[in-house]
């Protein structure tokens, strides 16, 4: 019954979207409150999948990460979260909408620029007013509307990354809560995402291997610490100004054997183009280190061919 309800809601949303209207996820969630977590997770994924299924593969534009509609320079800082393909950004914007007028004060931080957002969190370039340093600050999107599961997953992300100390994993500086809004700060990597680089076309095979090898070592380290990433894709790999890669966005991270309750059986979380088969079926019991290894393979495929292995 739950599966048929989810299919019915998704069909309703996509019909509205194809007709040129923007569906209201909250209205459907109010009708099916026990499916709120699944519906929130599937909403943005459905829009991205629809984009891939109804359009041709876009030609390479050569547009760098920083040259999006916000008008920032490609030489500017890149968030430890957010970004990705144009479809990713469009879906995230449709789901989340406008947030804060900037600059804005947030505790001891000055939020200067929005750098990216997803279904649950938004990332800003922020200035730590006490230490005078620039950081990437991620906060939960809507403290009043977020469910207990949303808050638990957000905390789990911060805790998972905080325990990882590896040169190719973006480090966490501080975890906290201000006026009921969970947040954490991370190092701000100046550069672009691997996704932005791949918009210009495939990489030479030696360059591809040299770029991905440190990422593989970082993920192997995370696995040794009991953490699965579960959302590895080019937009979650940052390249600094020297071309060094950094793994980021552990928003779907799963601590092996400790946080199984955060994902219900049947809830499909991740990015379809880079998702392992066992993850695509929502079978959480089969997820393990090879799930991330599969995603690394799809990233390598994209680096060598200029497109992900699956388009729809």
User: Which residues are known to be catalytic?
Assistant: 231
d(Cα 308, Cα 273) in Å, to the nearest integer?
6
- What letter does residue 264 receive in the DSSP assignment? -
Give whole-number Cα distances, 258 to 49, 127, 160, 261, 282, in Å.
31, 34, 11, 8, 18
Token reading at 40: 């929130």
d(Cα 54, Cα 244) in Å, to the nearest integer?
35
- CA neighbor of 282 nearest in space, from 45, 122, 93: 45
d(Cα 252, Cα 262) in Å, to the nearest integer?
10
| φ and ψ at residue 50, rounded to 5 degrees | -65, -40
């Amino acid at each position: 019954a739950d599966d048929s309800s989810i299919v019915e809601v998704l069909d309703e949303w996509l019909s509205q979207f194809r007709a040129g209207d923007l569906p209201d996820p909250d209205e459907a969630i109010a009708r099916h409150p026990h499916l709120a977590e699944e519906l929130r997770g599937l909403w943005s994924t459905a829009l991205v999948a629809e984009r891939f299924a109804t359009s041709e593969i876009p030609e390479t534009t050569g547009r760098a990460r920083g040259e999006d509609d916000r008008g920032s320079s490609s030489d500017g800082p890149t968030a430890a979260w957010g970004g990705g393909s144009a479809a990713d950004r469009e879906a995230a914007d449709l789901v989340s909408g406008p947030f804060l007028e900037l600059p804005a004060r947030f505790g001891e931080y000055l939020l200067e620029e929005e750098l990216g957002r997803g279904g649950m969190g938004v990332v800003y370039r922020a200035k730590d007013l006490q230490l005078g340093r620039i950081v990437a600050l991620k906060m939960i999107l809507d403290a009043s509307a977020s469910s207990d599961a949303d808050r638990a997953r957000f905390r789990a992300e911060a805790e998972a990354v905080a325990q990882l100390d590896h040169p190719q994993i973006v480090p966490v500086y501080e975890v906290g809560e201000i006026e009921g809004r969970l947040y954490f700060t991370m190092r701000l990597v100046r550069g672009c995402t691997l996704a932005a680089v791949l918009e210009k076309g495939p990489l030479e095979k030696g360059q591809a291997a040299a770029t991905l090898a440190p990422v593989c070592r970082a993920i192997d380290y995370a696995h040794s610490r009991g953490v699965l990433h579960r959302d590895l894709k080019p937009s979650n790999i940052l390249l600094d100004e020297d071309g060094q890669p950094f793994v980021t966005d552990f928003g779907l991270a799963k601590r092996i054997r400790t946080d199984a309750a955060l994902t219900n059986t049947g809830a499909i979380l991740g990015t379809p183009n880079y998702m392992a088969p066992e993850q695509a079926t929502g079978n959480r019991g089969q997820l393990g280190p090879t799930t991330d290894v599969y995603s690394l393979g799809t990233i390598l495929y994209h680096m060598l061919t200029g497109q992900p292995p699956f388009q729809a």
